[in-house]
Amino acid sequence: MPHGHSWFDVILGTFYSNTEAAAHMASWPFNEDGVSWMAHEQIGVQHVFAAFFVLLLLIAFALITNARIKNVDEALIPEDKFTIATFAELLVGATYGQLAEMMGPKAARFFLPLIGTCAFFILFSNGLGLVPGFLPATDKLNTTLACASVIFFTTHIFGVKEHGLAYFKHFFGPILKWYALPLMMLMLVIEVISHLVRPLSLAIRLMANMVADHMVLTVFIGLVPFFVPVPMYVLGTIVVTVQTLVFCLLSTVYISMAIAHEEH
């Protein structure tokens, strides 16, 4: 299946074919060939369908895992095979371990729902691109920028909550004196740009890697349609995992820096 297309085309094709008549009646803009702009935007909204599909998968994983852990006595005994519940426990445990090392156990327990949700959503969205006929939801800037924006606002909201208005002091640099005002203004500009670039770097890095990964895999499958390019799937799996780790790791770093107290 060509890059930019997926099985969601079937759903979108049905939807848009039913909206053509309504578009004519509502006087929506049409191209010279008589096809509305909506029909040309089918590919542009496939990441929304992919995100909802990932959401359904995560709900199913959550229900299966909850059925496993709600019985405390049974959950204490590790399963003798790799299951969905085991996978969920491993991912949650790894995420919590990373958080605890970087921000301490107390903050790790508080931010685990946020970073853990990012880990599950991004990992499953990235992994969806490894399934023939599907597109990863994270190969669109809309999706990755939405995830990065959540981290951006969380960083500053909890930074202010932890330090009050004194949180903004570090934007002016280490010297807060009247004679250092020009330097303070320069530091303010640099810090503001730095903080605004963070969500963009998170979003663009994740999107660009997933687009490249999916395109490479599509090209190799297209070259030899009846051959499974195992090395490329292995490489793709590594990219999927590493990009999830990088996003969560940088998100943790940003939040840790915002809530950390300076030691004198």
Mean pLDDT over all residues of the chain?
A: 81
> In this structure, are residues 149 and 248 in contact, taking their beta carbons and an 8 Å threshold?
no
pLDDT tens per residue, range 136-146: 889 889 999 99
Q: Report pLDDT digits (tens) over 55-106.
A: 999 999 999 888 887 877 766 677 778 888 888 888 999 999 999 999 999 9
Strand, helix or coil at 36?
strand
Query: 14 or 71: whose pLDDT is higher?
Result: 71
pTM across the whole model: 0.80
- Report DSSP state, residue 8: H
- How long is the chain? 264
Residue 30 backbone phi and psi in degrees, to 5: -120, 155
CA separation for the pair 63, 86 (Å, rounded): 13
